[in-house]
Amino acid sequence: MAIYSRISGTGSALPARRLTNADLVHLLAARGLETSDEWIVERTGIRARHFVDDGVNASDLALQACEAALTAAGCPLSDIDLIVVATSTPDMVFPSTAAILQHKLTQSALARGEAGATGGAAFDVQAVCSGFIYALTVADALIKVGTARKALVVGAEVFSRILDFNDRTTCVLFGDGSGAVVLEACEHDGTGAGILATDVHADGKHTGILCVPGTVSGGQVLGDPTLKMDGQAVFKLAVGVLEDAARAVLAKAGKAASDLDWLVPHQANIRIMQGTARKLRLPMDRVVVTVDQHGNTSAASIPLALDQAVRAGQVKSGQLVMLEGVGGGFTWGAVLLRK
Ligand code: UT7
């Protein structure tokens, strides 16, 4: 019997403040910029997104998502020996959002009279919109080698903090949110629930097409700390590499695309999802789509979509599910699992 890691619970969190496309049309008009609901829906599929209020950080959204995932898994926080947070919008330069989250989870558990989580490993993974795929890959590997038994794997983002609201080509695309899963060790012969294959890649020569070029030095922000994207270049690369990653995990697990019950892709643009589904000959009714309501929440988008699909009764136990992501770096990857 080999050790596998399986998702035993999912959770997610969205900030209360919801902005429709019409709200953004007004916001941008006040800055002398023109956009429209028609343009945003037609080019991206996005109708609304959520933004945090001042003072709310990635770890606050992650806390809510993790507590929902722990409840769904029936897992006490004290069993957790690994926390991996995928984020490009951390609370601080350091320590990691994962370490901050561990403390917030513990404080919250203690307030309920339950034991906290201290002493396990906690760290962040930075792979922008592919971050959750990277985080899941790392947590799966740590469970398989016996370093961890029960992990919280989280995507948490406050992208509204790094948007340039004078750039209509990017600020209409992104939103804030968090999704989390409890990943736990289990033993079987390869026929049970669990992560069956992972595949992650990066190609740093594409750094410039999607980046936040600013950094902190000498007590000041050096360079521009807002998101820059060459949308068309990202779009073209995304469709190609997502197909490659999808085919790679299917081949590793000895499965065909037609075996898939669900594809849960990174939620950047409905047209990218349709392109991937077409290449895999997968009907769109097997693709989980939340981009219309969340926008692009970067590393949070896949676990957010997964949690919503699980809670809506779409993704069920025993089904074959593919998660896949692509983003700045350029990074991309996929995870194939039996729920
Ligand atoms: O999460 C990481 C991965 N990120 C992505 O996957 C994003 C990938 N890229 C995309 O999703 C698309 O390229 C965008 C949605 C960003 C842009 O769609 P597009 O079809 O590639 O549009 P475009 O950049 O070619 O722009 C078409 C036109 C331009 O006007 P002209 O030059 O044709 O007159 C833009 O100036 O649309 C204009 N435009 C807008 N118009 C109204 C750009 N942004 C807006 C806007 N409202 N917000």
Concerning whether 266 is annotated as a catalytic residue, the answer is yes
For residue 166 and ligand 1, the question of a CB distance below 6 A is answered with no
Spacing of C-alpha 40 from chain mean position = 22
Q: Which helix (H) or strand (E) holds 124?
A: strand 121-125
- Give yes or no on whether 3-187 and 194-338 have one common fold: yes
Q: Is 275's pLDDT higher than 90?
A: yes
- What pLDDT, on a 0 to 100 scale, did the predictor assign at position 282? 97
Domain coordinates in residue numbering, the chain: 3-187, 194-338
For residue 123 and ligand 1, the question of a CB distance below 6 A is answered with no
Per cent of the chain over pLDDT 90 is 98
The protein residue with its alpha carbon nearest to ligand 1, atom 2, reads 327
Concatenated DSSP letters of 187-252: EESSSSSEEEEEEEEE-GGGGGGEE---EEETTEEES--S-EE-HHHHHHHHHHHHHHHHHHHHHH
Going edge to edge, which strands form the sheet with 2-13?
2-13, 176-188, 150-158, 82-86, 121-125
In the CATH scheme, what is the code of domain 3-187?
A: 3.40.47.10
The protein residue with its alpha carbon nearest to ligand 1, atom 11, reads 269
Secondary structure (3-state) at 80: coil
Cβ–Cβ < 8 Å for 325, 137: no
Pocket test for ligand 1, best of 43, 294, 330 (most atoms within 8 A of CB): 43
Q: Of these residues, 21, 129, 171, 269, which one is catalytic?
A: 129
Tokens 């000959």 locate to 281
The protein residue with its alpha carbon nearest to ligand 1, atom 29, reads 169
Q: Is 1's pLDDT higher than 90?
A: no
Position 126: which residue type? Q
Cβ–Cβ < 8 Å for 98, 81: no
The string of pLDDT tens digits covering residues 4-59 is 999 999 999 999 999 999 999 999 999 999 999 999 999 999 999 999 999 999 99
Q: Is 278's pLDDT higher than 90?
A: yes
Cβ–Cβ < 8 Å for 82, 206: no
The string of pLDDT tens digits covering residues 223-242 is 999 999 999 999 999 999 99
Range 194-338 classified under CATH 3.40.430.10: no
For residue 35 and ligand 1, the question of a CB distance below 6 A is answered with yes
The answer to pTM > 0.95 is: yes
Question: What's the average model confidence in pLDDT over 305-321?
Answer: 97
Cβ–Cβ < 8 Å for 182, 136: no
Q: What is the mean pLDDT of the chain?
A: 97
CA–CA distances in Å: residue 128 to residues 131, 194, 202: 5, 25, 11
Question: What's the average model confidence in pLDDT over 163-167?
Answer: 98
Concerning whether 269 is annotated as a catalytic residue, the answer is no
Q: Of these residues, 21, 57, 171, 266, which one is catalytic?
A: 266
For residue 39 and ligand 1, the question of a CB distance below 6 A is answered with yes
Question: What's the average model confidence in pLDDT over 97-120?
Answer: 96
pLDDT band at 300 (very low <50, low <70, confident <90, very high): very high
Q: Is 191's pLDDT higher than 90?
A: no
For residue 39, count other CB atoms closer than 10 A to its CB: 14
